[in-house]
Amino acid sequence: MLDNLCQGSLPNSIGNLTSLEEISLSSNILSGIPKSLGQLSKLTVLDISENIWEGVITETHLANLSSLTELTMDKVSPNISLVFKINFDWIPPFKLTYLLIRSCQLGPKFPTWLKNQSELTFVILNNAMISDTIPNWFLNLDLRLGRLEMAYNQLSSRVPNSFRFNKESIVDLSTNRFQGPLPIWSSNITIFSLRDNLFSRPIPPNIGEAMPLLSDLDISENILSGSIPLSIGNLTGLTTLIISNNKLSGQIPHLWEDKQFLYIVDMSNNSLSGTIPTTMGSLSSLELLVLSNNKLSGELPSSLQNCANMVNLDLGDNRFTGKLPAWIGESMHNLLILSSRSNSFSGNIPHQFCGLYKLHIMDLSHNHLTGHIPHYIGNLSGLKSEGIDEITYQGKLKVVAKGRALLYDSTLYLFNSIDLSNNNLSGGIPMELTKLIKLGTLNLSMNHLTGQIPSSVGNLEWIETLDIFMNHISGPIPLSMTSLTFLNHLNLSYNNLSGKIPTTNQFLTFDDPSIYEGNVGLFGRPLLTECPNHSGQSKPGGDEEDGDGDGDGGDKFEKLGLIINIVIGFFVGFWGVCGTLIIKRLGELRISALLKE
């Protein structure tokens, strides 16, 4: 009954199926587990993963499952609605070899009903709300494991070194509170993840010799110090190396040759210094190179152009110098993310970057770039509706959007951004930018840009953030901007804009005067400045127009004179026409009276 959209509770009558040997009910919408399930004495495999189970599991639910060897209650969603409440002294009648429980509450104590499970080879207890230590009795089971995962709990203390593992084993103890030195375990382990714990001290210098089969090593988000061990160079089968968010220092060593399968290298958020080794250019399979937030310096080695499969190149928040290499645009045609923010790169933006047709994030902000924004920027097909198929990939990136720094992770592939802020760019805003209709964030602030906002800016139908703060942009705010219905962060301040601020559609929400301040020619709400034809108002910033020194008093006299002239003109016109007729009529009446006499 796999993936059949079955819903409701399992019937109590399931306990009557005494000859049943396997139950597979995964990927349904089932919610209730009857106690009669525990009567199935011949059941060997129970897989009830990916449902919406709720309630409580007691020993009665498992009481007579004497033949059970595989128990799977896996749920990808982290929401926990099923709780195990089993007496601490209960001894199960079964001997499991395979145990997978994810996103069900087993804790807070380590489940004591595992005390007699001496035949386990596969153990996953992820997101089980266990806030305990790994007990000695579990170690004394002397298990020979092929997989051990206890991630997303609150397990603490030191990790024991007494576990034994089969060949090509997987270990994941990430997101706990383990501490002490990084453990060195069996040479049979291939995937080793201890991410997000409290491990400290240097990475063991012999890690590459003691665990030579490692293919995936993730020891990020700990408190590891010291340098990167040279022995990592022995890991010829390495595919991912993630050592970010620690306190590592020293230079990146030359250990990158003979790593033909390595496709992820993340060393971000450490204190690494020196230059990027030229040998990193030998990583022909490299897709993600994340070196941000270190103290790396120098120019980018030209050997990196050999990494033609690069998808994410993040060099942000370092001390790199020199020009942005044109070969990035010439050789890295699969690039989706390019970030060089907060460095000391200089020179022009290479026009070759506009050939990165899959690119959806370009962050070149906070450098010393000069020249014009290339008109070819409109060729970035990844930011057009007819562009590239969306790709989900690994990686985190700090970006500035909606006026603040944000860290994107699992949704990074949905974020589309160009950030060229805090440089020395000049010239106009290319009209071709407005062809990038999938663009969500455009930040051109703090440059020396001139000219007007392109009238076709209304084509950016997905734009959420538009920032041109502190440039020399002139002219009116294009009326087409009122059609940008997703726009929620706008900064036009400190330019030379003029004219009336639009007051329709999305602009009704932009009622903060700081959005427009520093543009002496702008008027209308939310600024206090009225139309320039209306005298007597102050410029933005509060400076009064001096004129001939009359100020507000001069304006009042001008108004009074205008009123007097209108009144005099009325009387002159009235008597010039009507007065003549009246006098003529009076004359006629006078003559008529004389004739009668």
DSSP 46-112: EE--SS---EEE-GGGGTT-TT--EEEE--SS----EEE---TT---S---SEEEEESSB--SS--G
Domain boundary among 310, 336, 367: 310
Whether 291 and 168 share a structural domain: yes
CA-wise closest residue to 254 among 279, 235, 271: 279
Domain that holds residue 232: 155-310
Residue (of 368, 482, 484, 492) closest to 429 by Cα position: 492
Is residue 221 within 8 Å of residue 267, measured between CB atoms? no
Percentage of the chain modeled with pLDDT above 90? 75
For residues 38 and 109, membership in a common domain is answered with yes
Rounded CA gap, 563 and 556, in Å? 11
Give CA–CA dist 284/222, Å, rounded: 29
Main-chain dihedrals φ then ψ at residue 12, nearest 5 degrees: -60, -25
Domain-located, residue 372: no
| 187 shares a domain with 123 | no
pLDDT in tens, 53-82: 899 999 999 999 999 999 999 988 899 999
Are 113 and 165 part of one and the same domain? Answer: no
Q: Is residue 475 one of the residues assigned to a domain?
A: no
Same domain for 32 and 109, yes or no, is: yes
Q: Say what percent of the chain tops pLDDT 70.
A: 84
Stretch (H or E) spanning 181: strand 177-181
The last residue of a domain, from among 128, 147, 177: 128
Task: Determine, yes or no, domain membership for 583.
Answer: no
- Regarding whether 251 and 188 lie in a shared domain, the answer is yes
Examine the domain organization and report whether 197 and 161 are in the same domain.
yes
Give residue-wise pLDDT tens across range 191-204.
Answer: 999 999 999 999 99
* Amino acid 408: pLDDT: 66
pTM for this prediction: 0.85
Domain count, the chain: 2
Q: What is the mean pLDDT of residues 327-335?
A: 95
Return the SS3 of 125. Answer: strand
> 186 lies in a domain?
yes
| Domain presence at residue 222 | yes
Helices (H), 188-278: 207-210
Residue 194: CATH number of its domain:
3.80.10.10
pLDDT band at 5 (very low <50, low <70, confident <90, very high): low
Flag whether 403 is in a domain.
no
Q: Do residues 12 and 120 both lie within one domain?
A: yes
Could you tell me if 87 and 181 lie in one domain?
no
Looking at 99-108, 433-442, 452-461, 556-565, which range is the least confident one? 556-565
Within a domain: 477:
no
Whether 196 and 306 map to the same domain: the answer is yes
| Same-domain pairing of 264 and 213 | yes
In a domain, 511, yes or no: no
Residue where a domain terminates, one of 284, 310, 336: 310
User: Based on the domain organization, do 4 and 82 belong to the same domain?
Assistant: yes
